[in-house]
Amino acid sequence: MKSATTKWMMTAAMAALTMVGVANAESLSEHKADVPFGFRVGNESMPPGKYAIGWKARDIFTFRHVETGRMVAFLGALRRDASAKGGAVAFRCAGEACVLEAVKPVGSSIQYGRIFPKAPAGALPTAVIRVALR
């Protein structure tokens, strides 16, 4: 029991250090987006507004709310080919609740996203909303 707790605490500490390193790392590129609605990234709620989106590593992105400075990280574990020229951020929305789904950096041919579980029967229909990056 003690060994499992120690192992879990070490894993959590390493994950926290990794995210601090990601937040402080220089961006491969940074883009801007105007998101006119609130959304969630993992367990974090983000307000509508202007965002600076940093591409930190191959599949790690940061979203910084320009007015408040609040920042969250997004791990785009699922990679898909994306032939569209411009960059975009995609949100999956059900009613007024939106969740960050994917990021396609400007100049990249790959979209980095998340895997979403199949919606349960009776759930609100979902729509994907794309916001252009500049």
pLDDT tens digits, one per residue of 39-59: 988 888 999 999 999 987 777
- Asked if residues 103 and 65 have their Cβ atoms less than 8 Å apart, the reply is no
pLDDT at 29: 75
pLDDT tens digits, one per residue of 60-89: 889 999 999 999 988 887 777 776 678 888
- Asked if residues 127 and 93 have their Cβ atoms less than 8 Å apart, the reply is yes
How much is the pTM? Answer: 0.69
What strands, in cross-sheet order, belong to the sheet with 29-35? 29-35, 49-57, 60-65, 71-75
